[in-house]
Structure 1
Amino acid sequence: MSVTTENGAPVLCHHLSLASFRRLLRDYSLVCDSYSDAMVGSVPQRLEATDMGRRALGGAGI
């Protein structure tokens, strides 16, 4: 993240590693894929179970 003045002069630059979010993003991606698969011709119970998993991850920060 870089902060500059209106003229474009640098004021602050902050580097943040996203490696700590890798597992969370991977798990969320898997849940989203499962949810999409469940929406196509699946039974409602599977869709509900997948949605509950997605909500559980939502409490983890997403």
Structure 2
Amino acid sequence: MNAIDLLLPALGLALFLEGLPWFISPTGVRKTMSVIATYEDTPLRMLGLVMMGAGLLLAWWTVG
């Protein structure tokens, strides 16, 4: 199994999950984004760091 065999399904799943809220409730996504836009940068960066770490741990756990 090479890297592309893992990368393409992962990318497809990410695109599906990113598009799902927009399909289900575009208005809700817009409202949520307007609230998030009021947050300071530091909490958003910390959330991003936690999400990246969780994603790497999940990938390592499932593939590794």
Both structures adopt the same fold (TM-score exceeding 0.5): no
Higher helix proportion: 2
Query: In which range does the TM-score fall when normalised by the shorter chain?
Result: 0.3 to 0.5
Larger RCO (CA within 8 A; separation ≥ 6): 1
